[in-house]
Amino acid sequence: MLMRTDPFRDFDRITQQLLGTNARPSAMLMDAWRADDRFLVEFDLPGVDPGSVDLDVERNVLTVTAQRPAVDEASEFLAAERPRGVFSRQLVLGDNLDLDRIAATYRDGVLRLVIPVAERAKPRKISISHEDGAADQAITAGGGEKTRETVDAAASGG
Domain harbouring 18, CATH code: 2.60.40.790
pLDDT in tens, 51-109: 999 999 998 899 999 988 877 778 887 877 777 788 888 888 888 888 889 999 999 99
Q: Is residue 73 part of a domain?
A: yes
pTM over cut 0.85: no
Q: Is residue 86 part of a domain?
A: yes
DSSP string, 84-138: -EEEEEEEEPPTTB-GGG-EEEEETTEEEEEEEBPGGGS--------S-HHHHHH
Domain of residue 64, residue span = 9-121
Domains contained in the chain, number: 1
Q: Is residue 127 part of a domain?
A: no
Q: Taking the CB of residue 53, how many other CB atoms lie within 10 A of it?
A: 17
* 145-150-155 Cα angle (round to 5): 130
